Amino acid sequence: MNKYLLVVCAALFVSCSSKKNLVKVNRPVQKPDKIISDDKLVKVYSTNGYIERFKTIAIEEMNKSGIPASITLAQGMLESANGNSSLAREANNHFGIKCHAGWTGKTVAMDDDAPGECFRFYNSAEDSYRDHTEFLKRQRYAFLFELNRTDYKGWANGLKQAGYATNPKYPELLIGLIDRYGLDRFDRGETVIAKAEREERVQEQIQIKESQPDIAKAEPAKAPLTMKIYEVIPGDTLFSIGRKFGLTIDDIKIINSLQGDDLKPGQLLLVSK
């Protein structure tokens, strides 16, 4: 009888232990360091003010990687609305880079394609510019680093070709900004030897990153940038375009770096925040 009871108890113990091992443990989710509840545009920088403020870091990154300073500045202007978007103002994120499994820095939650999406939160805007350079150092963009540092048109079209943006007008929008504000004045050429050395260094960095499966998996390429771009037709005004896309006149002017109210047929305007 005692032996029977011992067997039953042992069986119950094993059964209970097995069930205990099957219990799912809910690990706490890391809370964001900040939550942005309203994506509003507040004019902190004028277009020329933004260019003046960030031209130095754009040139520094160009000298290190080969990305034309004009391209980096134009992308920052577009993606942060000249530093006036909520994400730029409150999280120093000027390129809309989201979190991923390998991101260990601070985070900010904001509604985007889905509610409460996780974006990177930088200590400074300069850190955002540096991270933008690192984010482009991957295989899908590798061919761009073989271009001259003064070839901003090649970079603009190459970014679209590599899938950075889904809108076919994206290169024209970048080139238009660069030409309108003369951003190519910050681009610097390099000697044949310096270019070869820079290419070899950057391509080696890309290969090292791509050869580490854990890092490559944790750092997926940036999701293609979705932008609504509108081509102005005769009779359009900022007011009529704003009504069509749910934007104020000031929104359109801030997003597109417009100084006045004049529009020209064929002009491209960004009409999404």
Query: Could you tell me the sign of the dihedral formed by the alpha carbons of 48, 44, 255, 86, in that order?
Result: positive
How remote is the C-alpha of 31 from its chain's centroid?
21
- What CATH class has 228-273? alpha beta
Q: In CATH, what is the architecture of 34-224?
A: Orthogonal Bundle (1.10)
Q: Strand, helix or coil at 110? A: strand
State the average pLDDT for the chain: 83
- Assess whether the region 34-224 and the region 228-273 belong to the same CATH fold: no
- Tokens at residue 163, please? 């899938």
Please say whether the beta carbons of 147 and 154 come within 8 A.
yes
3-state percent helix, strand, coil for the chain, nearest multiple of 5: 55, 10, 40
pLDDT tens string, the chain, 273 residues long: the values are 444 444 444 444 444 443 334 344 333 356 888 888 776 778 888 899 999 999 999 999 999 999 999 999 999 999 998 999 999 999 999 998 988 767 889 999 988 778 888 999 999 999 999 999 999 999 999 999 999 999 999 999 999 999 888 888 889 999 999 999 999 999 999 999 999 999 999 999 999 988 876 555 555 545 555 667 788 888 889 888 888 888 888 888 888 878 888 888 888 887 876
CA distances from 207 to 9, 135, 213, 221 (A): 59, 14, 11, 15
Domain boundaries, the chain: 34-224, 228-273
- The vertex-96 CA angle with 251 and 216, nearest 5°, equals 165
